[in-house]
A = this chain, B = another copy of it.
Amino acid sequence: MDFRSDNTGGASPEIIAALAAESGRQDSAYGADVVSTRLERAFADFFERAVEIFPVATGTAANALSLAALAPGYGAIYAHPLAHIAQDEANAPEFFTGGAKLVAVPGVHGRIDAGQLRRQIADATPHGVHNAQPAAVSISQTTELGASYTPEAVAAIAAIAHDAGLALHMDGARLANALVHLGVTPADLTWRAGVDILSFGATKNGALGAEAIVVFDPARARALPFLRKRAGHLLSKQRFAAAQFEAYLAGELWRRNAAHANAMAAHLAKGLAEIPGVRLPHPVEGNALFPVLPARVAEALAQAGFLFRPWGDQASGMVRLIASFDTGVADIDRFIAVARAASGPA
């Protein structure tokens, strides 16, 4: 009954089992343990190439540390105005970078517009040293409005960024949902498309708390071990984060969980779309949907105990509904039923 966020979910049994198995033994602190070492190989399999991984406590930390590796304090970071890094991280990117500026690049459905990005970078420094210096681009999978970037869309943005000497960061808090929706490989959607650094989230998709920075371009990440430590994100018993990731990748738990969440979101979208007066202005390309509900429908759902959030301009009637790995189909069906009943003649 809770559609506010995939952060409200519990944790997959496989994750708990991995923690339990690891709890009975001692091992080196700060990532020098055998689980962290095995995890490097698991990630290499997942991405079809060697990568550097830096587990951290939260997605905000993964994003802000990634950006701090890419952008100096006098830099500019291009992102959608609705991006999580711009709206919902309490200035963490500015803090970690020492003052870099987030420059808004608009676009539909939370995706930045490539042409607009190109123009903004080209026009960024008419006054030279007086302007913030273009340093990085950040995109989100999925976006804050539930859309995904295809590998081609990522590649188009990466080309613009790289041509201008900027790095590309991907906030993959819901990367698994985008992968499942698009039916592409992790490699295709990230480094093969030009992503330099990835925030890879597992927390929203079945872990207790497991986020990692994945570095595809190690030359850009030389400072990351130090930046992570001084931010208090080098976990002393890192193996418990590594164990979560190991269980998340093993047997494709990530895919199963995301597939379920996406299916629930699609089911919900389909049901809502058939209700008169309900609109879905944004595509459902992951586990989130953003319907516009008539006021009486929204009220009826709230009274029935469903939890969800208004989104954006409050007068719009838009709400955010997010399905999780542990969302039940019965809850979806009941949500639709209540909405449909409320939409009829009053």
Q: Are A231 and B72 in contact (CB under 8 A)?
A: no
Given A90-B74, A95-B73, check contact A29 B15 (CB 8 Å).
no
What are the residues of chain B within 8 A of A234 when measuring CB–CB? Answer: 58, 60, 129-130
In-complex Cβ contact of A74 among B29, B129, B230 (8 A): B230
Q: Whose C-beta in chain B lies nearest to the C-beta of A65?
A: B232
- A173 to B, closest residue via Cβ: B236
* Contact residues on A (Cβ < 8 Å of other chain), bracket: 35 or more
**Is A209 positioned at the interface, with any CB of B under 8 Å from its CB?**
yes
Report yes or no: A7 in contact with B209, Cβ–Cβ below 8 A. no
Which residues of B are found within 8 Å of A24, using beta-carbon distances?
Answer: 10
Q: How far is the CA of A230 from the CA of B93 in the complex (A)?
A: 8
Give which listed residue, B72, B74, B88, B233, contacts A57 with CB less than 8 A.
Answer: B233
The 7 closest A-B pairs by CB, nearest first: A61-B232, A57-B57, A94-B99, A7-B29, A11-B23, A60-B232, A90-B230
Q: Would you give 7 A-B contacts (Cβ < 8 Å), ordered by A?
A: A16-B23, A57-B61, A59-B236, A72-B223, A73-B98, A73-B227, A91-B100
Which residues of A pack against B, CB within 8 Å?
A: 2, 4-5, 7-13, 15-16, 19-20, 22-30, 56-62, 64-65, 72-75, 87-92, 94-96, 98-102, 104, 123, 126-127, 129-133, 203-204, 208-209, 223, 225-227, 229-237, 240-241, 310, 313-314, 324, 326
